Amino acid sequence: MSRRPIIGITSYVEQARWGVWDFRASLIPYAYVEAVRAAGGRAVLLPPDSVDDDVLDAVDGLIVSGGVDVDPARYGAEPHPSTDAPQVDRDAGELLLIHGAFERDLPLLGVCRGAQLMAVARGGTLIQDLPLGVHREVLGVFNQHLVKPVGGLVARLLGDAEFKVNAHHHQAVDDPGALVVTARAEDGVVEAVEDPTKPFAVGVQWHPELLDDRRLFVALVEYSGSSIRDRG
């Protein structure tokens, strides 16, 4: 292969400060970029843009990152009092990219919110407020808990034994729609979803970019490299 696979990572739009500046910025925790680079890929940031999905023709794989809650209107629900104010532009742009990735068989990894959006894109719904405990207890601090793979790529890549992940979320996939659940937490909450009709379309509820285990990113980059070769 003549170049590293290019992995697009959807980004947050938040007020940010650096030096003497204070602006709205398109940003992402650098751990995503490091994880892609360590896996052999080249990361590029994709700000929200709902005009078209043409950028997918310029990347070899896609990561839909974590962030604020998905707008419940996207899955036909009324907002729970604890649900974040919607980021309409981000929801629209990321759903467009997810649909485009599915249509192109582009390797796709959803992280936390990204996994939830994958389910919504396939007709699923979300739990809007989980009780405090396993998945979030202290704001800004990741909980550690066990996940059990139940098949699919997750089991093939990570094994079928329980393993420990990090968590900080109060929402989760309820109905996965056309996706398949391939891992659950110790309390039964959905931890991974996949589209088994695609070469690599995996969403995980935890944050693998903050763990030492890089196997999901290595697999994403390897599948993305295969897509380069397939395109000639």
Render pLDDT for 146-201 as a digit per residue (tens, 0 to 9).
999 999 999 999 999 999 999 999 999 999 999 999 999 999 999 999 999 999 99
Which residues pair with residue 163 across a beta bridge? 147
Q: Is residue 136 part of a domain?
A: no
Q: Is residue 216 part of a domain?
A: yes
Whether 229 shows a pLDDT value over 90: the answer reads no
Q: Which of 94, 112, 135, 194 is catalytic?
A: 112
Q: Which of 135, 168, 169, 207 is catalytic?
A: 207
Query: 191: domain CATH number?
Result: 3.40.50.880
Which pair of tokens denotes residue 228?
């380069």
Give per-residue pLDDT as tens, 99-156.
999 999 999 999 999 999 999 999 999 999 988 777 887 888 898 999 999 999 999 9
Can you give the residue range of the structural domain that contains 41?
Answer: 6-128+172-231
Q: Is residue 12 part of a domain?
A: yes
Q: Is residue 66 part of a domain?
A: yes
Radius of gyration of the chain (CA): 17
Q: Is residue 159 part of a domain?
A: no
Closest Cα partner for 65 from 10, 106, 116, 108? Answer: 10
One-letter identity of residue 228 = I
Closest Cα partner for 157 from 114, 204, 91? Answer: 204
Q: Is residue 135 part of a domain?
A: no
Structural domains of the chain, count: 1
Tell me how far apart the alpha carbons of residues 115 and 205 are, in angstroms, rounded to a whole number.
6
Give per-residue pLDDT as tens, 17-26.
999 999 999 9
Tell me how far apart the alpha carbons of residues 86 and 147 are, in angstroms, rounded to a whole number.
29
What pLDDT score was predicted for residue 94? Answer: 98
Has 112 been annotated as catalytic?
Answer: yes
Bin 66: left if φ > 0, else alpha if -120 < ψ < 50, else beta: beta
What pLDDT score was predicted for residue 134? Answer: 76
- What predicted TM-score, i.e. pTM, was given to this entire model? 0.96
Tell me how far apart the alpha carbons of residues 42 and 36 are, in angstroms, rounded to a whole number.
7
In sign, the C-alpha dihedral spanning 91, 96, 98, 99 is positive
Contact 44, 59 (CB under 8 A): yes
Which residues pair with residue 45 across a beta bridge? 9
Whether 231 shows a pLDDT value over 80: the answer reads no
Q: Which of 145, 170, 209, 222 is catalytic?
A: 209
Q: Is residue 89 part of a domain?
A: yes
Q: Is residue 122 part of a domain?
A: yes
